[in-house]
Amino acid sequence: MHRVLLSSWICCALLVVVVDARQRSNWQNTEGNDPSREPSGRSNGGPRASRRKSDKPNIVFILTDDQDSELGSMNFMPKTQRLLRSGGAHFHNAFVTTPMCCPSRSSMLTGMYVHNHNTYTNNDNCSSVQWQRTHETRNFGTYLSNAGYRTGYFGKYLNEYTGTYIPPGWTEWVGLIRNTRFYNYSLNFNGKKIKHGDNYYKDYLTDLIANDSVTFLKQSKQYFPNRPVAMVLSMPAPHGPEDAAPQYQHMFPNITTHRTPSYNFAPNPDKQWILQYTGKMEPIHMEFTDMLHRKRLQTLQSVDDAVEKVFNELKELGELDNTYFIYSADHGYHLGQYGLVKGKAMPYDFDIRVPFLMRGPKIPPGVRMPNIVLNIDIAPTILDIAGVPTPDHMDGRSILKLFDGADDPSNLMGNDMKPKKAWRDSFLVERGKLTSKKMQVRDRLEAKHNKLSNTKEQRLEKECEKGEYQAPCSAKQAWQCTRDDTGKLRITKCRGQQQKQQKQNDVLPKRKTGCKCPPVDPLMARGEKRLQRNFLRTHVNQPVSAQKLKPKFIKSRRRRNVPLFDDGGTLNDSLPSIDEEYLLASSEEVDDLVSVGLPLGRPQEHVVREIEEAETPPYVNRGAVSCKVLPNGTISCRKPQVWSFDYWRAKKSHLDSMIAESKARLEKLKVLRKQLRQGKPELNTQVEDEGIVTAIDDDVQALFAEAAAAAGLSDKRLEKQRLKRKNRRNKKLQRKVRLDVSRDCNSPRMKCFAHDNQHWQTPPLWNSGPFCFCPNSNNNTYWCLRTINASHDFLYCEFITGFISYYDMLKDPYQLRNAVYDLTYTNLRQMQDQLEKLKSCRGNRECTVRTRPADGTAISSEGSGELQGESGEMDEGSGGSGEDHSLSPWIQEEGGASGDGEEEDDLKEDFLFLTRAFRLDDP
């Protein structure tokens, strides 16, 4: 008996092992063929077996949304600081090339500048069909998947992602549909759309990303132990609507680290147009920045927890030492800087500088890296970690080589790593593109510049080159350019030629054309009227035999007058339309006209008396005659009717009184409707208002109760439905109030936002009332050169409006003063040339600009193109002569070392225009 039981138990165990192995084999085969069909990462449990670590390292990329570096947000994330910064490397010169969500995220995915992947704004080409076909297929996830990685993406993807597809390259896909939200959002979970509500324990997005990523990591190592994992955790924090987890809503009540020296530094007449327009903030704006900063820090606490959770899970799995962490943000943020209440998209350090932490096997703990790191370097770095060569189309470079020799104490200065000489020291910051409308703005500014910079003689020379001013005058030419006795150009009229041509035109017969002739006054002249009166006196009293002649004279139809309103005060339907033909005349001309319908033979005085007895409306004939051809071939002409002033004023007064009366009645109805809404009765109540009685009797209530009982609804269920309807009405009212506030919050050429008491739905709440602010403009398009090396730290920008700016961060770290006047012409030209090359660069060889170690000359990665002066000093001439080509010698001396006097004048003119550019800034 025991032998039978033992053999049965062994058979069952062997069967389970075989089924388990076969199931794992099927999953592995399925994953190799189609990653989208593998079992969901949210399932729990599964077979456990002895695991062998993969040869390639794991990769965890944690990305936050709108997290600043300059306002001190990282100082309030102690877990991240301890695990990643103290345990890894901190890049304190990390930047993004475009400080906007979708363009920056697209650059992170593809490793390309914005001008190469063409996602310029959060709407333009963001997750478009063109993006999906060309660039999305080359994101770093596709390369990792082809290299054998199990890839997972969790959280926000791109702003315009609709959730209708799964981007290529991702084994596990949990993508947020549209823009950031913490509650009430939808996810695409491996191809299936899932809608989430407002329950913190089930729906809070930051926690959900952490839980799903840990589950994916755990099951990947459980079922596929020999395959590496790459995960992207794209957090919503600290982006709006800044909904913090309940346990953190009480924190940071008096934190004001965002109030940097540039806080409320306004107005700024030496900066671009939006900052010239923006003045100092009002007290309500400053209060808002304080609360917004507090709520942003509260949302980051959940990110801090997520970092610790993933870190601990890797530690439990024994994969921590074989895992690289990368922590960064898509761009920075400003809160009150330069008077701007909130926002991004500016070229200054508070918007383009981001946190950047990295931890991994080859990275020494607690080291500070001075080299410039960009968002376009993330994709090449991840591929380098995975052992995949960087594709040629990527503009960024892997930063792993910066850690070469990190274990050598000679490469460290305390905790600071010595900068690598072969690394970039300049990069491009760009926002927007040249549209046709913006090209018109630029052309207008250039025309304005040419008008201001050229002399009158130069402008005349340019105008006289046009064909319309060439001498001698040709037919129909109005002006010609001639020189006076002193040799100066003059623009004179073509008088003789024009008069001669006019005489020839008078002699020649006029040709018939299709032009409309000027209207002829239909009123008869006095002589014609007199002849008609004589004709009537002579021929009206003719014998009957002559009655065959029935003359019809103009202005002879009997007039009629129809009242505008009937007795009830309504518009009369029998009024003549504008298209009807009426021949009207003033009462002073009655004696000159006859009625068509009167028979001949009657005395003339009877005709005149009947015409005088006819009621004459106070109309006056004015305007041009309009004619039309009738179906029978005759031509009918009429004049537009215009009332006399007295008649018009009377009718207008009557209409105004009717409109006022209607408005008064409408206002009374609105007040009554408002009262009815506010005092909506419950069951078994009566409301009496002006004789109107509304009641719900017991029979109706009993009928409702029977229907509810038949449907299986209890009183508790009915109460719940009633509260739901009430909440729906309140939300609708709140949306209406918010819409009213937003409707008035707009300004031409500006991008504005409205804030009110209903904006934040989680504590701490805003109770200081609504306000409107315009933090950006539609002409804030720019291209900037940002340089950091041993001798320089500056930002040079060119805006679409023609404005230029230059900030020396060694002297002015908060970029308070535009120091463009301090530049020499040589320096300005060097920066312009370097910027032009970066604006059109492609690939990391063209897009990497660095300083040659030998002489300091700025070169591209190809080794060509001198862009800076001798020994890297921007104050030296590029030719190495050591001469100072500043503006002062041009003003004090004639000519100069750079060429003859005429060329020197051209250089001065260009320099004066460039340094004057901010005065021409125009929205």
Q: What tens digit of pLDDT does each residue of 296-321 get?
A: 999 999 999 999 999 999 999 999 99
Cα–Cα distance measured from residue 561 to residue 556, given in angstroms and rounded to the nearest whole number: 16
Within-domain flag for 541: no
pLDDT at 65 over 80: yes
pLDDT in tens, 425-454: 999 999 987 666 656 666 666 666 555 556
Average pLDDT over residues 884-890: 31
Cα–Cα distance measured from residue 855 to residue 872, given in angstroms and rounded to the nearest whole number: 7
Average pLDDT over residues 19-25: 40
Within-domain flag for 178: yes
Give the Cβ contact number of residue 610 at 10 Å: 14
Residue with the bigger pLDDT between 178 and 20: it is: 178
Within-domain flag for 531: no
> What's the pLDDT score for residue 627?
66
Residue 616 · residue 586 · CB < 8 Å: yes
DSSP H helical segments within 42-112, as ranges? Answer: 78-80, 101-110
Q: How many CA atoms lie within 13 A of 16 on its CB side?
A: 9
- At 328, the pLDDT band (50, 70, 90 cuts) reads very high
The amino acid that residue 10 corresponds to is I
Number of separate domains in the chain: 1
> What's the pLDDT score for residue 449?
57
Rounded percentage of the chain residues whose pLDDT exceeds 90: 44
Strand pairing class (94-95; 686-689): unpaired
Range of the domain at 255: 58-426
Q: Which residue in the block uniquely carries the two structure tokens 């570096």?
A: 69
> Which DSSP letter does residue 263 get?
B
CATH code: domain of residue 365? 3.40.720.10
* The model scores a pTM over 0.75: no
- At 332, the pLDDT band (50, 70, 90 cuts) reads very high
pLDDT at 48 over 70: no
Average pLDDT over residues 330-350: 96
Determine whether 138 is exposed, middle or buried from the number of CB atoms within 10 Å of its CB (0-12, 13-18, 19+): buried
User: If you average pLDDT over each of 121-125, 688-692, 719-723, 762-766, which comes out highest?
Assistant: 762-766
Within-domain flag for 12: no
Residue with the bigger pLDDT between 809 and 509: it is: 809
Average pLDDT over residues 782-806: 93
> What's the pLDDT score for residue 634?
67
Within-domain flag for 370: yes
Within-domain flag for 173: yes
pLDDT in tens, 145-156: 999 999 999 999
Annotated active-site residue in 11, 12, 101, 752:
101
Q: Which residue in the block uniquely carries the two structure tokens 């004049």?
A: 639
Residue with the bigger pLDDT between 491 and 861: it is: 491
Residue 872 · residue 856 · CB < 8 Å: yes
- At 285, the pLDDT band (50, 70, 90 cuts) reads very high
> What's the pLDDT score for residue 698?
54
101 is catalytic: yes
pLDDT at 476 over 90: no
Within-domain flag for 652: no
Average pLDDT over residues 853-867: 42
Cα–Cα distance measured from residue 781 to residue 698, given in angstroms and rounded to the nearest whole number: 69
Pair of tokens at residue 332: 């920075």
Sign of CA dihedral 470, 472, 473, 478: positive
Across the chain, mean pLDDT equals 75
Within-domain flag for 129: yes
DSSP H helical segments within 175-263, as ranges? Answer: 200-203, 205-223
